[in-house]
Structure 1
Amino acid sequence: MTPPIDHAPTTEARMLEIVFPDHTNHLGTLFGGTALAWMDKAAFIAASRYSRRTVVTARSEQVDFKLPIKQGQLVETIARVVEVGRTSMQVEVELIAEDLLSGDRELCTRGRFVMIALDSRGRPAQVQALPGSAS
């Protein structure tokens, strides 16, 4: 008999990408727009998993590009639902670059995205409160 699959927390999503030449600028580092697209995708997945609804991006806030991500590095994108409103979810997203040969990892980019849950008619829909929150 196959053991049950251990499910990841439904407030979190993780993605892995490798930085190939078509992801980079003339300096050989990850395009900011590509980084933002990866972050938005992870925020979408985390918010969708949490709410079990269709979601859309309402806003991106305070995205800080701390360190460049180089061609050939592995990028782990980690998105976590950190706050929930009536129909909105705030998702914190981090990009962590990893050198595949040494295993060294560095937080390179961090940002916050506001996602809105929608009902079947495309209107904002209520989202359950985060477990353990005071709401």
Structure 2
Amino acid sequence: MMSESNEKVQLPAKPSKDSRTLMTQLIFPLDTNHHDTMFGGKLMEYMDKVAAISAMRHARMRVVTASTDSLDFLAPIHVGEVIEVEAFVTWTRRSSMEIYVSVNSENLYTGSRKTTVTAFFTFVALDENGKPAEISKVFPESELERQLHASAPARHELRKARKSDRTSKA
């Protein structure tokens, strides 16, 4: 956006909490493999959807997944358990956003809860022509948001190095 004086208009920053998205699912036999634990690919689909909603809430425009990293499966999810998939924007650049996604499972009979998966997704906001579009900066408020925001530039550099390494080998 340009003003009449050709100065760039600064978009107002938004808090991480405004992008927070939560999805709850009960895990059925069709969601699981032959070990009666949830298919990793099915869980990744849920995570990508929740991350996309979080990114759209922040950008208020179309977004696409640019990368997924640090996808760590910490514990299995069993038939009959409930999962909560939560996401929020941790850090932004001009048109890209890093989204932290965590999955917690709960045994509804015992009340036992555990973190089962965590990951970082990167999304890019797109304008009406499908080109990267400028987005608002994000600012953290909670302790977790501050920790993830502070460590995001290092993850960004690792993503850049990984991408550069792959393109140089092509």
Q: Is this a same-fold pair by TM over 0.5? A: yes
Alignment partner, residue 17 of structure 1? 25
- Bigger fraction of residues in strand: 1
1:101 positional shift: 1.5
1:69 aligns with 2:68: no
Alignment partner, residue 137 of structure 2? 129
Structure 2's unaligned 5+ residue stretches are 1-16, 141-148, 151-170
Alignment partner, residue 38 of structure 1? 46
1:11 positional shift: 2.0
Which residue identity lines up with residue 33 of structure 2 in the other structure?
N
Of the three residues 90, 96, 104, the one matched with 1:88 is 96
Q: How many residues align?
A: 126
Alignment partner, residue 125 of structure 2? 117
Structure 1 distance, partners of 2:90, 2:53, is 14
Which residue identity lines up with residue 128 of structure 1 in the other structure?
S
Identical residues among aligned pairs (%): 37
TM-score (structure 2 length as normaliser)? 0.71
Structure 2 distance, partners of 1:68, 1:57, is 25
TM-score (structure 1 length as normaliser)? 0.89
Structure 1's unaligned 5+ residue stretches are 1-8
Structure 2 distance, partners of 1:124, 1:80, is 20
The 4+ residue runs of structure 1 with deviation greater than 3 A are 131-134
Q: Alpha-carbon deviations, 1:82-106, whole Å to 9, x = none?
A: 0111100000101100111222110
Structure 2 distance, partners of 1:130, 1:66, is 28
Alignment partner, residue 113 of structure 2? 105
